[in-house]
Amino acid sequence: MIRKSAVFNGLVIFCFSAFLAFCQTDTRNDQIQLHSRQAQEALRNKRPDLAAQEFSAIVELDPNNIEARGNLGVLLFFQGDFAKAAPQLRAALQLQPALWKIQTLLGMCEKRIGQISDAEADLEKSFPQLTDEKLRVQAGMELIEMYYDAGSLDKAAGIVTTLRQIKPTDVDILYTAHRIYSDLADESMLSLAMLAPESARMHQLMAHEAARQGNTEQAIVQYREAMKLDPNIPGLHFEFAEALGGSSLPSDRAQVEREYKAALAANPFDERSECRLGDIAAHESDLTAAEAHYSRALQLQPNDADAIIGLAKTYISMNQQEKAMPLLERAAQLEPFNAVIHYHLSTLYRKQGKTDDAKRELAEFRRLRGMKAKLTQVYQAMRLHPTGQEQPDEDVPK
């Protein structure tokens, strides 16, 4: 039998060991709390270097402390020490995988220390989950740069499209979008030229590029070649009509209406051709036909600003200003940078005796006209022909 004294001695040793472990744990917790307080104090005093030392001390005491790992990694990241920041961020992420901001910073660290595949994987995973606008834009731009360097233009285009929705007026995003879309266009043109250099699509593409360069005559030549090869290409009649409308030859201009009608015959839902036929009717003072064409275009596409403006101008010519006003106000919401809309709104407000509204719209018209003049100079310097611009309006002063 075991003597009671031996049992007692064993219990004493066990209790003492447990007490010692408890004291050590309690002491460690006190130290962690002290370092945490000192870290917060250092941050308040704008001393991130001291705060990093305190968080590092906490990690030594408790390697599984997620908060300390994450904070230390963030501080090291913003100090530019990416090689040391990455392990801390990675450890925090392993302890709690759904830390999307931490994973984003980890991806950025990995990119900067040359771990590109890991960086791409981490940023691809975290990017869709980010809610902070600034960080999401930064993560997206980092991804785009990696995709672009790797020649993955389709992936880069997908990200830049998302970023444009987040910040549509950001100049860096707009420039990046232009660069990517231009490269995609060049890549597609090269592929088409290699695969089908004599196809109707190739001639259509060449026509489009000639039109962008302002070479209307060459664009018409290429469109005619495309039409000979395949007149049933969707949208070809409309594009051809647009080019013919810019020609100085009477024979070309006489063909415009036929091409728009051919476009509608090929596609009865082509609201753009319907709207252009309205423009032609309005120019010929056939207001009944113009109203019919514009109304039909709006049935097909209720948010077609060109059709709304055309119908509003038709009503003005028919002395039905009460119908024109709501159309112009709606058009201004759809296209706030269209100077023509603001000019006609100013005119109608003045007739209604709304002097302040008329002055506001006239001032906006003049501002946008100035912007358009500068934009025209830019396009001329680039030797490009602006597309998608408002049509010339004889009623609007130059």
Using CB atoms within 10 Å of the CB of residue 277, give its burial: 0 to 12 exposed, 13 to 18 middle, 19+ buried. Answer: buried
- Extract the tokens encoding 200: 């109707």
Same domain? 64 vs 155 = no
> Confidence band (pLDDT; 50, 70, 90) for 393?
low
Q: What is the pTM of this model?
A: 0.71
The verdict on 120 and 106 lying in the same domain is yes
Which tens digits make up the pLDDT trace of 302-329?
999 999 999 999 999 999 999 999 999 9
Quote the tokens at residue 341: 């809309």
Q: Report whether 86 contacts 110 (CB < 8 A).
A: yes
- Which pLDDT score is estimated for 359? 94
Domain contains 298: no
Which of 100, 129, 158 corresponds to the end of one domain?
Answer: 129
376 within a domain of the structure (yes/no): no
Domain count, the chain: 3
Distance of CA 83 to CAs 55, 78, 99, 118, Å? Answer: 17, 12, 20, 14
Q: Is residue 153 a part of any domain in this protein?
A: yes
What's residue 380's pLDDT?
Answer: 66
- Mean pLDDT of all residues in the chain? 88
Q: Which of 361, 337, 335 is nearest to 348 (CA)?
A: 361
Same domain, 215 and 136: no
| Contact (CB, 8 A) for 323 and 315 | yes
Same domain for 187 and 239, yes or no, is no
Burial class of residue 333 in the structure, from the number of CB atoms within 10 Å of its CB (0-12 exposed, 13-18 middle, 19+ buried):
exposed
Indicate whether 50 and 141 sit together in one domain.
no
Structural domain harbouring 224 = 196-268
- Tell whether 312 is covered by a domain: no
**Within a domain: residue 394?**
no
59 and 82 together in one domain: yes
pLDDT at residue 11 is higher than 50 = no
So what's the pLDDT on residue 372? 78
Q: Which two tokens stand for residue 8?
A: 């007692």
Asked whether residue 15 is domain-assigned, the answer is: no
Q: Note the pLDDT of residue 377.
A: 72
Is the Cβ–Cβ distance between 344 and 315 less than 8 Å?
no
Identity at 274, one-letter amino acid code: E
Amino acid at 337: F
Which amino acid type is present at position 334?
L
Q: What is the pLDDT of residues 166-199, one digit of tens each?
A: 999 999 999 999 999 999 999 999 999 999 999 9
pLDDT of 1 higher than 50: no
Kindly state whether residues 225 and 206 are assigned to the same domain: yes
- Is residue 2 predicted with pLDDT exceeding 80? no
Q: How far apart are CA 311 and CA 101, in angstroms?
A: 51
Do residues 222 and 167 share a domain?
no
Q: Which two tokens stand for residue 206?
A: 């060449």
- Shared domain for 125 and 32, answered yes or no, is yes
Q: What is the mean pLDDT of residues 363-374?
A: 86
Asked if residues 168 and 337 have their Cβ atoms less than 8 Å apart, the reply is no
User: Pick from 195, 225, 248: which residue ends a domain?
Assistant: 195
Does 179 lie in the same domain as 204?
no
CATH number of the structural domain spanning residue 224? 1.25.40.10
pLDDT grade for 13, boundaries at 50, 70 and 90: very low
Domain contains 281: no
Last residue of one domain, picked from the residues 195, 213, 246:
195
- pLDDT tens, residue by residue, 187-235: 999 999 999 999 999 999 999 999 988 899 999 999 999 999 999 999 9
Residues 87 and 34 occupy one common structural domain: yes
**Gap between the Cα atoms of 139 and 4, Å rounded:** 69
Would you state the pLDDT for residue 19? Answer: 37
Residue 16: pLDDT over 50: no
**Structure confidence by residue, pLDDT tens digits, 97-154:** 999 999 999 999 999 999 999 999 999 999 999 999 999 999 999 999 999 999 999 9
Q: Are residues 200 and 176 in the same domain?
A: no
Phi, psi of 61 (to 5 degrees): -75, -35
